[in-house]
């Protein structure tokens, strides 16, 4: 058995989800459950009576059966395919048929609300939960194809929960998520690309299950259509909110966004109107807030690739702080281009970065720097720089010396062949 539960977007500790307002929506769900419990019980008694009347043959006509079911007590507050209103669609988010249904949704909503606090204010989270959930329930009710379900109530917070999930994917899709994993032999935390979990959970699981609900013989008691409808509604609402906020695609957390929108402009005035330095200061200042943000790091790498000669050794030292092993592994091609650009511009790689970079990362970069049929000066530049930075490590120096002996003859022979 494998368990993988999202804990938080991969962000610094002070940006991680908080518990402060997380409990408000779950408490509303619990309050609504007890407040509407008499209606749930009355509806259950009504359905029990319906089963008796049907068994006695008193509801053998479809029109009589539909007329009887249309008077269900629960339809005064919940929606069904043949009986719905906007007000009841909104209220249906807070209704649950039993304690187990409520408990599962409360756990999910706590996680959903908490994880969204990294990106949006609570009032926006609440609005997306209610609107997205209501749209999801309406989506399910209007597309439901089973004739026997014309007056089956569609209710519960799961559509709103999936709306929050959609919001999370919109804001964090390009970044990473920290998951709690459990295997029989090992447990712990692991950071993975958010997009990987999206394709597994949403596309492969929910879409397939919701599609099966269109089959007459398929019924598992779970409203997958509401899940998909809520998820799509949450995505649309979140995209609309980002457009209203003018949220740049390279920013991950609300803290970055607030700094970018309120304070960064003042900081950039200190560098005057030099666009290169302004971009450099902008990306590095934002990375000081969230050093996990790979999209900002990619912007910084591309800036160095384009304008390598414009940066001092101190600038490069400041930038390379953020290019850790994980980033290099995930973005080998971009980092390779940057190293080649620095070599062509006559710039040295920061020694601090070379000392902290593992040997296997250097080998990966060297493999990417190799261009068949051409001079291997780029590889020589990287390996030589790395050897100088690790001159006190005798074992590593021996490995690098052997590697350089293999590279240098090939480089010289190609230089002679080209007439240099």
**Top-confidence residue, 122 or 149:** 122
Question: pLDDT tens digit string along 220-263?
Answer: 567 778 888 999 999 999 999 999 999 999 999 999 999 999 88
Which residues contact residue 231 at a Cβ distance below 8 angstroms, ignoring those fewer than 6 apart?
A: 136, 162, 163, 165, 166, 202, 206
Correct CATH for 3-36+77-245 of 1.10.10.10, 3.40.50.300, 3.40.50.720, 1.20.1540.10: 1.20.1540.10
The full set of domain ranges for the chain reads: 3-36+77-245, 255-417
- Residue 345's pLDDT is 95
- Residue 207's pLDDT is 54
Q: Which of 18-32, 92-106, 270-284, 400-414 has the lowest mean pLDDT?
A: 400-414
Q: What percent of the chain has pLDDT over 70?
A: 87
Q: Which of 36-50, 88-102, 363-377 has the lowest mean pLDDT?
A: 363-377
- Residue 66's pLDDT is 86
In whole angstroms, give the CA distance from residue 311 to residue 303: 10
- Residue 172's pLDDT is 94
**pLDDT at residue 406 is higher than 80:** no
The pLDDT-based confidence of 266 (bands split at 50, 70, 90) is confident
Q: What's this model's pTM, rounded to 2 decimal places?
A: 0.86
What does the block give as tokens for 153? 């109530």
Question: pLDDT tens digit string along 189-231?
Answer: 888 888 877 655 655 455 555 555 555 444 456 777 888 899 9
- Residue 181's pLDDT is 80
Question: pLDDT tens digit string along 272-323?
Answer: 668 898 899 999 999 999 999 999 999 999 999 999 999 999 999 999 999 9
- Residue 31's pLDDT is 96
For residues 110 and 137, the answer to whether their CB atoms sit within 8 Å is no
- Provide mean pLDDT across the span 68-72: 91
Q: Which of 2-6, 56-60, 80-84, 344-348 has the highest mean pLDDT?
A: 344-348
- Residue 419's pLDDT is 41
Q: Which of 14-18, 121-125, 191-195, 222-226 has the lowest mean pLDDT?
A: 222-226
What does the block give as tokens for 271? 């560098």
Average per-residue pLDDT for the chain: 86
In whole angstroms, give the CA distance from residue 284 to residue 396: 32
- Residue 201's pLDDT is 60
Q: How many CB atoms lie within 10 A of CB 217?
A: 5
Q: Which of 67-71, 277-281, 350-354 has the highest mean pLDDT?
A: 350-354
- Residue 413's pLDDT is 46
Which residues contact residue 373 at a Cβ distance below 8 angstroms, ignoring those fewer than 6 apart?
A: none
In whole angstroms, give the CA distance from residue 80 to residue 377: 71
Q: How far apart are the first and last CA of the chain?
A: 62
């Amino acid at each position: 058995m494998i368990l993988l539960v999202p804990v938080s977007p991969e962000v610094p500790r002070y940006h991680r989800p908080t518990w402060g307002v997380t409990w408000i929506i779950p408490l509303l769900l619990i309050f609504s459950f007890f407040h509407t419990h008499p209606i749930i019980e009355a509806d259950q008694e009504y359905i029990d009576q319906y089963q008796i009347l049907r068994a006695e043959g008193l509801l053998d006509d479809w029109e009589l059966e539909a007329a009887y079911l249309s008077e269900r007590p629960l339809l005064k507050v919940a929606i069904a395919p043949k009986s719905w209103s906007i007000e009841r669609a909104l209220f249906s988010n807070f209704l649950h048929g039993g304690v187990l249904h409520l408990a599962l949704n409360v756990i999910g909503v706590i996680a959903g609300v908490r994880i969204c606090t990294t990106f949006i204010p609570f009032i926006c989270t609440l609005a997306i939960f209610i609107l997205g959930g209501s749209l999801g329930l309406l989506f399910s009710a209007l597309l439901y194809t089973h004739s026997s379900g014309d007056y089956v109530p569609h209710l519960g917070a799961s559509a709103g929960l999936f709306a929050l999930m959609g919001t999370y994917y919109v804001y964090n899709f390009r970044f990473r998520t920290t998951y709690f994993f459990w295997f029989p032999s090992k447990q712990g935390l692991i950071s993975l690309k958010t997009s990987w979990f999206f394709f597994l959970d949403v596309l492969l699981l929910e879409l397939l299950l919701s599609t099966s609900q269109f089959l007459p013989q398929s019924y598992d008691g779970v409203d997958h259509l509401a899940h998909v409808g809520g998820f799509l509604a949450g995505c649309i609402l979140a995209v609309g909110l980002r457009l209203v906020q003018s949220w740049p695609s390279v920013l991950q957390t609300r803290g970055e966004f607030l700094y970018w929108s309120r304070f960064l402009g003042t900081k950039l005035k200190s560098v005057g109107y030099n666009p290169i330095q302004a971009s450099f200061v902008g990306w590095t200042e934002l990375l000081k807030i969230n050093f996990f943000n790979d999209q900002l790091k990619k912007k910084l790498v591309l800036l160095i690739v384009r304008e390598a000669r414009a940066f001092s050794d101190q600038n490069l030292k400041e930038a390379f702080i953020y290019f850790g092993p994980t980033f290099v592994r995930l973005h080998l091609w971009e980092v390779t281009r940057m190293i080649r650009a620095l070599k062509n511009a006559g710039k040295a790689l920061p020694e601090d970065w070379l000392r902290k970079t593992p040997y296997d990362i250097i080998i990966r970069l060297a493999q990417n720097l190799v261009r068949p049929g051409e001079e291997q000066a780029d590889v020589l530049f990287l390996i030589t720089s790395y050897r100088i930075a690790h001159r006190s490590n005798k074992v590593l120096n021996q490995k690098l010396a052997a590697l350089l002996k293999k590279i240098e003859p090939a480089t010289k022979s190609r230089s002679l062949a080209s007439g240099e």
